[in-house]
Structure 1
Amino acid sequence: MGCPTNVVKIISISLNAILAFLACGAIAWIAINSDTEQEEFVIASYVFSGLIVLMVIVGIYAAIRESICLTATVAVFLLLLVILQIVNIFMFVNPMKLQSGQETVEIAWQANNMDGLQQQFKCCGKTSAQDYVHLNQVIPPSCYTDLQQVPDHLFLNGCIEKVQDQYESDKRRFLIVSWGLAAFLLLCFVGAVFLGISFRNKQRRLQF
């Protein structure tokens, strides 16, 4: 009769371990990109990720100890974290100001520092290689694949378009990850509820 409880326990511990990995990954991502995000968003994300790690530790301990009280507490906090994550998405992620590709490229253009952008995003000039031609400048090697200055290797797209597409793609991915985390938190909450019920049923059986 104890097999179902053990299965639920293993699943719950596994879910918590995955959740801890995701939270640590989120902390690392925030640390790397903190300079490009709103301060309020960075702080909220650090706090939220830290709470997740704390709940994971308590959740694993509760599963190992088969504590109904701790498991119920973890379930409640997981539900609160689901709500907080959804609020976080609507308050910070959805309205998050998208970086301007044009502004980024204009700054690099004015500083005569386009080489890095052109190689990173495989683009040339602000709108095309014609930007250099119109200024009677030689198209730089960074506008070519592998820096080989042959016509077939010339990047055709301008950097404003490519950089803006990258920023928009990054935001889409972040939204997907944010909603995915909310869904996974909800799954962990369901697992904690089932685990608590399983522990309670096991204790009842042992009384007879």
Structure 2
Amino acid sequence: MNIVYNTIKYTGLLSNLLYMMLAIGIMSGAGLGLQMAEPNTPEHTYFIESIVLGASICIIVIFGCYGLVCNLLSVNIIFTCFILIVLGVEYIQVRSYQPHTRYSSALRQLDHAWYRVGTQPQLMQQYEAQQHCCGYNNAADYQLLHMQIPASCYQPLKQKSSGATTKLYTRGCLASLDSSQRYIQRRDKVFMWFIVGLELFILTQTIALSILLYKLRQQQRRSLHQVPPGVRREPRANHVNSRTPLLLAQEV
């Protein structure tokens, strides 16, 4: 039983360290997003909630690691309750996850750049060069405006035989923005489900560890009460026994 207990204990420590690293990553990403978010917006609130959640996870993990290292049954039970609470919050967050407005600034930037393409074409050209797209919907938008397709709509290609050539981006900037938003949403959901799975794994470890620790404590108590026949149990040390050597020294 000791081998199983130590195995669960050390794997639990590794799982909690990984859990803390993920929480630190959540706080770091939310801190960067908080600097770019506008106050009093859903985007700003979302990043603040992420920072609070990450900090709470770090505190809970430190508390749980203390219980694992010190082999404290009561601390492991409290840590299990904390994990259950966090797991419930994470599950509700995953189930109720909906695309929010924290990426709406990119769409506003695109609309602003395309609206001023006639007077300030450098804004749209800079956006096209960064996102590797052409026009609002496609390159035909420039033809509808009777404008020449800019150089930012062409992707340079290197060929060994004929030198450097260019290739026109066929996808519009709106489609490119939608594709990136869908990718980010899928990534966020995968990340959330990964955290939920890790929390379930840690919860299973803490429950198994608490059961094993309880059984080990019961075995220790039974072994103390079971004394073989003919063996005299040594009395526990008390204040009288502790003074006996001093009294003997005075008599001598």
Deviations 1:14-63 (A, max 9, x none): 11011001111111221223345623322221111111111111111111
Q: Could you say which residue in structure 2 is the equivalent of 1:9?
A: 9
CA shift for structure 1 position 99: 4.0
The CA distance in 2 between the partners of 1:160 and 1:31, in whole Å, is: 28
Q: CA RMSD in A?
A: 2.3
Q: Is residue 2:181 matched to residue 1:171?
A: no
Amino acid at match of 1:192: T
SS across alignment from 1:153: strand
Distance 1:7 1:114, change over 3 A: same
In the alignment, which residue of structure 2 is the partner of 1:145? 155
Structure 2 portions without partners, runs of 5+: 159-163, 224-252
Aligned counterpart in structure 1 of residue 125 of structure 2, from 102, 115, 139: 115
Give CA-to-partner distance per residue, 1:120-152, whole Å, 9 cap, x none.
32110111122223333332222122499x875
1:77 maps to 2:87: no
Between the aligned residues of both structures, percent identity stands at 22
In the alignment, what sits opposite 2:136?
Answer: 126
Give the CA deviation at 1:188: 1.1
Contact 1:9 1:195 in 2 (8 A): yes
Secondary structure at the counterpart of residue 114 of structure 1: helix
Could you tell me how far apart the structure 2 residues matched to 1:86 and 1:94 are? 14
> If each structure's strand is expressed as a fraction of its own residues, which one has the higher value?
2
Residue 136 of structure 1 aligns with which residue? 146
Gaps of 5+ in 1: none
Normalization by structure 2: what TM-score? 0.73
The question of whether the paired residues in 2 share the 8 Å contact of 1:144 and 1:155 is answered with: yes
Number of residues paired by the alignment? Answer: 206
SS in structure 1 of the partner of residue 100 of structure 2: coil
Shifted more, 183-192 versus 54-63: the winner is 183-192
| Counterpart secondary structure, 1:191 | helix
Which whole-Å CA distance do the structure 2 matches of 1:115 and 1:66 have between them?
A: 62
